[in-house]
Structure 1
Amino acid sequence: MAITLDQIRCFIATAEELHFGRAAERLQMTQPPLSRQIQRLERSVGARLLDRDHRRVALTPAGTAFLEDAYRMLAAVDASVQHARRVEAGSAGTVHLGVTAVSAIGVLGPLLGLLDRELPEVDVVLHESASGGQVDGIRRGQIDLGLARPPFDTASLSSRLVLREPLRAVVPAGHPLAGLDRPLAPEDFDGQSVISYHPTSARYLHELTVRFLLNGHARIEQHVQQVLTAVLLVAAGQGVAFVPAGVAALHVQGVRFQRLTEVPGAHADSDPARPVELHAIWARDGLTPLLRRVLQLVERSVEEPGDAAGV
């Protein structure tokens, strides 16, 4: 026979009161159903838990041992109920968070600090992946929330703009452009070897690079998938590249980051000097209470003073 929580509660009350009448009153029930619950429990356990006669009620040795376990069982159930309620409210659970190496620079540290302080019962599992890989991970259910670059498939994904930062040129430290104390224009890169990005897997940054150089005569000679790879190639003297401003926080030796003039062709509703966007992305109709709270902290991680240092 199955043991029920009602049986456990009836046994604990009777064991503590050592009186069926007082236990029944405490449980707001009458004595006959209380006695039946104890009898069913004893049959299920296969041991006599209480000695009772007309004068007294006492725990048997088996009852004394079972009482300690009964307390633990009831406490575990109560803890499970409370945990489920916290998960339902979005204050507990596990979030699989996708990040790119660069998107993590200005957001991840402050975000993890906020999560530790405000949602200590939330476990974060990080997945480092390029934006395209994050989209695939969300579709497969392996990533709950991503921090990625556009564009996105709006039919299957929802997104929210988290951060917009300037585009910068990164040049070798000894390069003539490294010494200019002014924003660089497209014509400054005429004849330069440019390291750009893969037109498919890193489409967003590739298009930003091409758009900036549209009226110039630079030579795009290499395509990479990761921003850090582009910076390391610049440090090795293989050319110049264009990167989000936050990359400067990596402090890669042998390179300099230079400001750019306003980006030609920027959308009218966005600041042309801040074209590089980072979005939070998640499965459409998949915004759970927990993800909603994490998303709020993502936004705070770039809004609160001092939290987005280096971006």
Structure 2
Amino acid sequence: MAFTLEQLRGFVAVADELHFGRAAARLKMTQPPLSRQIQKLERAVGAQLLVRDNRRVALTAAGRVFLAQARRLLVLADAAPEQARRVSSGSSGLIRVGFTAASAYGVLGALLDRLSDELPDLDVDLVEMVTREQVAGLLDEEVDLGLARPPFDRATFGSRLLHREALLIAAPTGHRLLGAGPLVTAADVASEPVVMHSPTKARYFHDLVVGAVPIARGNTVHAVSQVLTMLWLVAAGRGIAFVPESAARLSIEGVGFVRLATAVPEPVELHLLWLRASANPALWRVLDALEDHAPPP
């Protein structure tokens, strides 16, 4: 037999007052129906919770244990409607964010700070993914929001430019390019051995670099997908690499940076990406909160 919230509230009131008359007055009801509630509750629980006679009301040992759980259940029951409303409105709930490793170098932290300020009750799960994995994760509804590189299917996905930055050359400390001036041209690096972005796992950066610099096939000594791996290979003297400006924050020993001259001064783009058909109400609140967000340079 199940018990009701009304029976729990009646029991807690009697336990607090240790008097049926005062408990009934507190609940704005008469004493007989309150007594019947307690009797039904005891039958449902299968234990005597109160000792009562004409002189006193007291909790049994079972009643003392049950009282703590009854209070907890009532707190949960009272909080549940408000929590449901908050989740429905998107001010609470869960947002799962996919991000590229390079986006974590400054951009991700600032974005999370903004969400903490604007939506403090929102839970955020983070998943590191390259862009193609984010696209698949959004389609499968494994993530709700991506920090990804273009291009995207505009019919399926909504996107918003979040951040732009320059393209840098990472070179071993003491390399001639590091002292060549504030800008290095494509001609300056044409003959250099290169740690290159993978054409499949890091397609965005691969295509961006190929479009900016005429790299001979024989000059590519390694092709990798993660910027941090590139920098370690550069530090080991394996070649130069082309990385987003934010990668300079990593301060890898043995690696220096110089800016590459490009047709667009800040060609590296990072976008917010989401599924247009998403049913997660928290996503739309997040997008509103980030409407005018621009991470610090």
Q: Specify the TM-score bucket, using the shorter chain as the normaliser.
A: 0.7 to 0.9
SS for the counterpart of 1:168 is: strand
SS for the counterpart of 1:36 is: helix
Check 1:179–1:15 CA distance in 2 against 1; reply closer, same or farther (3 A cut): closer
Check 1:227–1:71 CA distance in 2 against 1; reply closer, same or farther (3 A cut): closer
Aligned match of 1:5: 5
Write out aligned runs for 1:191-202 (5 A). Answer: 191-202=191-202
Cα deviation, 1:94-144, whole Å, max 9, x if unaligned, reads 443322221100123334445556655544433222221222233333333
Q: Distance in 1 between matches of 2:195 and 2:235?
A: 12
More displaced stretch, 98-107 vs 142-151: 142-151
Query: What amino acid maps onto 1:196 in structure 2?
Result: M
Counterpart check, 1:69 vs 2:61:
no
Aligned match of 1:237: 237
Aligned match of 2:15: 15
Q: Distance in 2 between matches of 1:255 and 1:296?
A: 39
Query: What amino acid maps onto 2:38 in structure 1?
Result: I
Write out aligned runs for 1:181-200 (5 A). Answer: 181-200=181-200
Aligned match of 2:248: 248
Check 1:204–1:58 CA distance in 2 against 1; reply closer, same or farther (3 A cut): same
SS for the counterpart of 1:102 is: helix
Q: Distance in 1 between matches of 2:68 and 2:215?
A: 78
Query: What amino acid maps onto 2:46 in structure 1?
Result: G
Q: Distance in 2 between matches of 1:20 and 1:123?
A: 44
Q: Distance in 2 between matches of 1:170 and 1:50?
A: 76
Cα deviation, 1:134-187, whole Å, max 9, x if unaligned, reads 222333333332222122233433322211111122233333322111422222
> Is the Cα–Cα contact under 8 Å of residues 162 and 298 in structure 1 kept in the other structure?
no
Check 1:48–1:260 CA distance in 2 against 1; reply closer, same or farther (3 A cut): closer
Q: Distance in 2 between matches of 1:50 and 1:232?
A: 71
Q: Aligned pairs, how many?
A: 293
Write out aligned runs for 1:71-220 (5 A). Answer: 71-114=71-114, 121-213=121-213, 217-220=214-217
Aligned match of 1:275: 267
> Is the Cα–Cα contact under 8 Å of residues 99 and 148 in structure 2 kept in the other structure?
yes
> Is the Cα–Cα contact under 8 Å of residues 100 and 129 in structure 1 kept in the other structure?
yes
- Percent of pairs identical after alignment? 50
More displaced stretch, 133-142 vs 159-168: 133-142
Check 1:65–1:257 CA distance in 2 against 1; reply closer, same or farther (3 A cut): closer
Query: What amino acid maps onto 1:43 in structure 2?
Result: R
Q: What is the CA distance between 1:207 and its match in structure 2? A: 1.5
> Is the Cα–Cα contact under 8 Å of residues 144 and 280 in structure 2 kept in the other structure?
no
Check 1:236–1:40 CA distance in 2 against 1; reply closer, same or farther (3 A cut): same
Query: What amino acid maps onto 2:160 in structure 1?
Result: R
Q: Distance in 2 between matches of 1:299 and 1:234?
A: 37
2:277 to 285, 295, 301: 285
Q: Structure 1 unaligned segments of length 5 or more: list them.
A: 264-271
Check 1:18–1:192 CA distance in 2 against 1; reply closer, same or farther (3 A cut): closer
Query: What amino acid maps onto 1:249 in structure 2?
Result: R
SS for the counterpart of 2:101 is: coil
Q: Distance in 2 between matches of 1:196 and 1:127?
A: 24
Write out aligned runs for 1:294-309 (5 A). Answer: 294-295=286-287, 302-303=294-295, 308=296
Aligned match of 1:58: 57
Check 1:229–1:7 CA distance in 2 against 1; reply closer, same or farther (3 A cut): same
Q: Distance in 2 between matches of 1:69 and 1:254?
A: 61
Q: Normalising by the residue count of structure 1, what TM-score does the alignment of the two structures yield?
A: 0.78
Query: What amino acid maps onto 1:96 in structure 2?
Result: R
CA RMSD of aligned residues (A): 3.1
Query: What amino acid maps onto 1:219 in structure 2?
Result: A
Q: Distance in 1 between matches of 2:66 and 2:237?
A: 75
Check 1:219–1:194 CA distance in 2 against 1; reply closer, same or farther (3 A cut): farther
Q: What is the CA distance between 1:8 and its match in structure 2? A: 0.7
Q: Structure 2 unaligned segments of length 5 or more: list them.
A: none
Q: Distance in 2 between matches of 1:64 and 1:173?
A: 72
